Amino acid sequence: MPFKIHNSCPDTEARTGTLATAHGNIPTPIFMPVGTQGMVKTLSPDELIDVVDAKIILGNTYHLYLRPGLNVIREMGGLHKFTTWEKPILTDSGGFQVWSLAKLRKISENGVEFSNHLDGAKTMLTPELSMEIQATLGSDIAMLFDECPPYPCEEKYAANSLGLTTRWARRCKEWHEANASNHVPWQLNTQTETLHNNLPQQIFGIVQGSTYADLREQSAKELVEIGFDGYAVGGISVGEPEHEMLRAIENAVPFLPKNKPRYAMGLGTPPQMLEMIARGVDMFDCVMPTRVARHGLAFTADGPIHIKNKEFEFDSTPLDENTHPSLQKYSRSFIRHLFRASEMLSLRLLSLHNLHFYLRLMSDSREHIAAGTFSKFKNDFNQRYLNSTLQ
């Protein structure tokens, strides 16, 4: 079994575990930095390992399919060799990007036709093609192709969308079982690949159902019946209020296998992730820590700060007391100056810091779950983070 649970929290659903993949073992709970184009914006693979302590990153199927294209990545030996990232990679299916192109897409039983954002050309993405792209990229974990319903969403639309996602899920699994081993580069070239574990590419299902509890339950049960290596909860963080986001998790997790990893897609803020961990979620991804970093927002134990604010002009302290040692030497005053001068280093320093903050939060969570003190840790963290006067 690729996923092993080590510790469970006595008074929440939080647990620690290890997810084994071909390119390494991933401790959970874990946050995955997003590398839309194959790597996290402004950062190098070495920095992600040495400073951020990333264990796995996320690549974007839609963007990598359009540019540089499968021919380039296939010729270069797959996404790991192309990017020089040797640790695990998860690829999304492209479904969320299609959802974000709502005005430019047409959904049918076969798949989704849309105008791509690069040149406006018509592109057809089907469940089978999504699986083929992800297999060719050679990610350790591939996501099934789903439809992400909008928020708000009428129940009839959500039900029809769920049905489509389930039918697509069956097609994804059928293609993957029949064809993946003929496309995944490190399964094709076993003599030249150095792998941590002799495991094939894994595939995760995605629970949909919008804000409707019965539909979330139905989706979870249907996906479990089909059978996947892990299960994500999708259609969250798409504009709904936080209580609806938490309810979506609560309405899905009880119907998912305890011995498979659970992944909340597209989340979130530090307090949100802690609340999700308490509800039994193991994996997260989000562009937030790097996106807001590029606008001057830094995460700290006392809540987020806007480094461009005048209050930091003479502040000689580091961004946070627990930032990575290599970042401790940079004062808030200096980083503020870099932002005001439009220096690229400012974006890089804050991106490194924010991702380190997220990965440290995961590490701290694992330690406290193992020690049986996660509830107190979560409450203490949220009390300080949400009630600080610094914000």
CATH 3.20.20.105 region(s) of the chain?
3-286
- Catalytic residue numbers read 92, 285
Sheet holding 15-21, edge to edge: 3-8, 15-21, 24-28
- Asked if residue 240 lies in contact with residue 181, where contact means CB atoms within 8 angstroms, the answer is no
Q: How many CA atoms lie within 13 A of 177 on its CB side?
A: 10
May I ask the CATH architecture of the domain 3-286?
A: Alpha-Beta Barrel (3.20)
Pairing assessment for the beta strands 57-59 and 89-91 based on DSSP bridges: parallel
- Print pLDDT tens along the chain (391 aa): 799 999 999 999 999 999 999 999 999 999 999 999 999 999 999 999 999 999 999 999 999 999 999 999 999 999 999 999 999 999 999 877 776 765 678 899 999 988 887 888 888 999 999 999 999 999 999 999 999 998 999 999 999 999 999 999 999 999 999 999 999 999 988 767 779 999 999 999 999 999 999 999 999 999 999 999 999 999 999 999 999 999 999 999 999 999 999 999 998 999 999 999 999 999 999 999 999 999 999 999 999 999 999 999 999 999 999 999 999 999 999 999 999 999 999 999 999 999 999 999 999 999 999 999 999 999 999 999 999 755 4
Q: What is the distance between the alpha carbons of residues 161 and 169, in angstroms, rounded to a whole number?
A: 12
- Does the pTM surpass 0.95? The reply is yes
